[in-house]
Chain A
Amino acid sequence: MVGGTRREELEALKLEVNSFLTSVERYNSNNLPKFEKYVQLQVSENMYDLEANLAILKLYQFFPNLYKPEIVCWILLKSLTNLPNTDFVLCRCLLGAGQLDDLNIARIAYLANLLELCQFKRFWQEKAQDANLISQITGFDDAVRKFVCHVVNITYQSMDKTILKELLGGITDADLRSWIAKNGWKEEPNNMIYISNQDEHVKTKNISEKITFETVSVVM
């Protein structure tokens, strides 16, 4: 079983990398090959470790001669799989001026911008052109769909089914049904999908004044 050993390798590497992260070893460039291998496994095994990835970017910052653009692309793409968290920004803040000009990195930044703007329809169109770059990342599309679901979940009480399908990247009815099940949504008549009861979360707040005893005691 090849998959099983890969997974074991990942677990072992994870332990080792974590031990680097808790000490000054995180700044030791001799550990870079291990860190880089770890990224590779994150990419193929659909697993994610922000802290390790930031440590790699930091090592590249300290030792620009060891910089590997393809690893950085992977890290940046992986960071997009953890939206709505702001991991992409955190990663990018560690890159240098020349590195941001790299064509692939600029392209990833463009896609990230579309996601941040929630222009999902456009994102799916544009993404199709970057198959080479992205197809290496196992589970990338579903990770983005998870983010879309998050935004839908906080925005809608009920919405049009066609629009939802479009936001999720023009998926089939069968796929849509599995996303509906995963999120606990409900199909309703008239082509509508019931998302959740938003009245509970989105409520008008009233902030009334609270006067503490300390403030009044001065004048008592």
Chain B
Amino acid sequence: MAYRRDSYRKDSYTRADSYRDGRIYDDEEYGGYPGHADQSKTLQYSDFGNKDDFYDPRGTSTQSYSFPDAVAKFIIHLYQSINNRDVSEIENLYEIRFPQLTRDYFKEEKWPQDITHLVDDPLFTTLYRELYFRHIYATMSNSLTFSDRCNSYSNYCELFNMILTSPEPIDLTLTNQWLWEIIDEFVYQFQSFSQFRRSPRLNAEESQYFKEHTYIWSVLSVLNVLYSLIEKSNINQQLRAYFNGENAETVAGDFGKSPLYKMLGYFSLIALLRVHSMLGDYHLAVKVLENIDLHKNTMYCNVPACQITTYYYVGFAYVMMRRYADAIRTYTNALLYIQRMRQMFQAKSYQNDQVNKQTDQMYTMLAICLVLHPQSIDESINSVLQDRKYADKISKMQQGDMKEFENCFTFACPKFLSPVPPAIDASPDPSQEPLQIQKSIFMEEVAQQIYLPTIRSFLKLYTTMPVSKLAAFMELDHNTLMECLLCFKHKMHNIVWSKGVSSLDGDFMAGSEVDFYIDKDMVHIADTKVGRRYGDYFIRHIHLMDELHRALKGLKF
């Protein structure tokens, strides 16, 4: 028996084809590729591909219709819950039941591809297929085929076409977690494809197909989706109103009022942050968030994964901009947030792995930052860094071990990508090129600062010392040392955010723990003295005593 939801007949949303003439990011057009040059370039929500572009048309699918009862029930149940806008049931089915069924039935194989005999509703089918492909990417990346990649792309196009080309907001209720994961996965698959395109594994037929369909997973079509969602939802206007304490509803517009569009818009901003970071455009990455006040504790979205992703990429962009104090603040906030939220993730194992990985990466980035820019940070975060896992790395980096810096960076940095296929004369493994470029730029920065920790360690011992004495300690001639001292001041004097909504704002400040100035031939040193902390010690012991007291009381003599 097939369910049908009337409001989503095929004709109720505009098919992509009718928008062909108005697409913004026609790759053939903007990419300088031949063909289709006659199309106009008016700005409109465009198509992102259409059904005919499916690499392996669905008709040829040989998938059988027989699958476990529980799975069929789940699909129908999910469809009904979405129809009934039963948010708590949707959450349960999506976050608990789906991973459960995956564990029980689809550990080694794909979810059924065709469910039209169960539910005949294009929107639901598209949503379901998004889950279907996501599952392949997540658990069967080895058997992920070229056609899976293309078909998943087409499926996203269908989904976003339905959402963006509908004349009025479509009536669909999903949880924020789900919406976030759609956008997050969309960017992930784009990144995965960009890497795949540069890998030597691509065979001749695939390369040929790709040459004829350049828009598939092209950076412009991905950006187009994200920008369109942002524009449609008026999210920037809404955020500006929200952080000014005004009523966001008045600027939201019809689409922006719908939670579906609003949250998709918000998540698209975070996705842009990520895409720009992966392309090495750190300035634009942070600028995209200029209407989000990351310093206020007001939580605009309740999806922890989104929150953590935001901090992770903003922190990284700060590192590359040499804004260490800001990076340290951002990472510390994120890690404190994760400490608070720990319990919540543990309940949902599939989110846990991702969070653990990102946590580890952020501690590593934080370690790098603190080596380059020592300063005191939150005790509870600091105690994690003193753990052996990080302490070894930190002490190696402090001794100027370049290899260790490189390893830490490679582990903790985002995935980088190039938006274009490799050049003909590219290196043997062009998929590694984007990472190599960003890494070499970072390593150059580290190399420029290589003397600073040694100078710092000598400065710490004195309040004043003659330049000549420091030169003798450093075994450098006077002129070289003077340059190193100027370099020290320059590198430790960076833009630090102090006020304003945009995270790009800030003033030049010296925030590191050791500072100095030179008067004639004398170095005057200012250190940071951290007073002993008693509070923590006493509170811990009060708790211990309390426990002991209670235990004693409970004893019977």
- List A residues at the B interface (Cβ < 8 Å): 23-24, 27-30, 50-51, 54, 58, 61-66, 84-86, 89-90, 92-98, 100, 113, 116-121, 151, 154-160, 163, 192, 198, 201-209, 211, 215-216, 218-219
Residue pair B528, A151 in contact (C-beta under 8 Å)? no
Q: Across the interface, name the chain B residue whose C-beta is closest to A59.
A: B30
Whether B418 pairs with A96 at a CB distance below 8 angstroms is yes
B533, CB-defined interface residue at 8 Å:
yes
Nearest to A204 among chain B residues (CB) is B526
Q: Is the CB of A207 within 8 A of B423?
A: no
Q: Which of A51, A89, A98, A121 has the most CB of B within 10 A?
A: A89
A201 to B527, CA, bound (A): 12
**A72 → chain B closest CB, angstroms:** 14
- B31, B438, B448: which contacts A93 (Cβ < 8 A)? B438
A62 near B220 with CB under 8 A, answer yes
**Which residues of A are found within 8 Å of B508, using beta-carbon distances?**
84
B528 touching A118 by the CB < 8 A rule?
Answer: no
**B197 vs chain A, min Cβ distance (A):** 14
- Contacting residues, chain A, for B418 (C-beta < 8 A): 61, 96
Asked if residues A98 and B425 are in contact (CB atoms below 8 Å), the reply is yes
Main SS of chain B's interface residues? mixed
Contact assessment for B419 and A61 in the assembled complex, using a CB-CB cutoff below 8 Å: yes
Contacts of B201 in A (CB 8 A): none
B539 CB to closest chain A CB (Å) equals 6
Closest 5 CB pairs of A and B: A198-B517, A118-B486, A157-B519, A93-B280, A208-B531
Q: How far is the CA of A204 from the CA of B530 in the complex (A)?
A: 11
Contact of A86 among B223, B321, B425 (CB under 8 A): B321
Measured CB to CB, the closest approach of chain A to B224, in angstroms, equals: 7
> Complex formed: what's the CA distance from A157 to B532 in Å?
33
Residues on B with beta carbons closer than 8 Å to the beta carbon of A98: 423, 425-426
Number of B residues whose C-beta is below 8 Å from A?
Answer: 74
Residue of A nearest to B445 (CB): A89
- Of B219, B320, B463, B539, the residue contacting A62 (CB under 8 A) is B219
Question: Closest CB of chain A to B336's CB: distance in Å?
Answer: 14
Q: Are A202 and B516 in contact (CB under 8 A)?
A: yes
Are A205 and B529 within 8 A (Cβ)? yes
Stretch at the interface among B85-93, B171-179, B488-496: B488-496
- CB–CB B526/A205 < 8 A: yes
> Do residues B30 and A97 form an inter-chain contact, with CB atoms below 8 A?
no
A207 near B283 (CB under 8 angstroms)? no
Q: Are A209 and B526 CB-contacts (below 8 A) given A116-B490, A151-B486, A156-B518?
A: no
Quick check: is B436 within 8 A (CB to CB) of the other chain?
yes
Structural contact, A117 and B483, CB atoms closer than 8 A: yes
Q: Is the pair B321, A90 in contact by a Cβ cutoff of 8 Å?
A: yes
Min Cβ gap B11→A in Å is 29
Closest residue on chain A to residue B419 by CB atoms: A62
Kindly list 18 other residue pairs between chains A and B, CB separation below 8 angstroms, not including A96-B418, A156-B517.
A24-B24, A27-B223, A61-B419, A63-B32, A64-B423, A89-B441, A89-B445, A97-B437, A116-B487, A117-B483, A118-B487, A155-B517, A159-B520, A163-B482, A206-B529, A207-B376, A207-B531, A216-B539
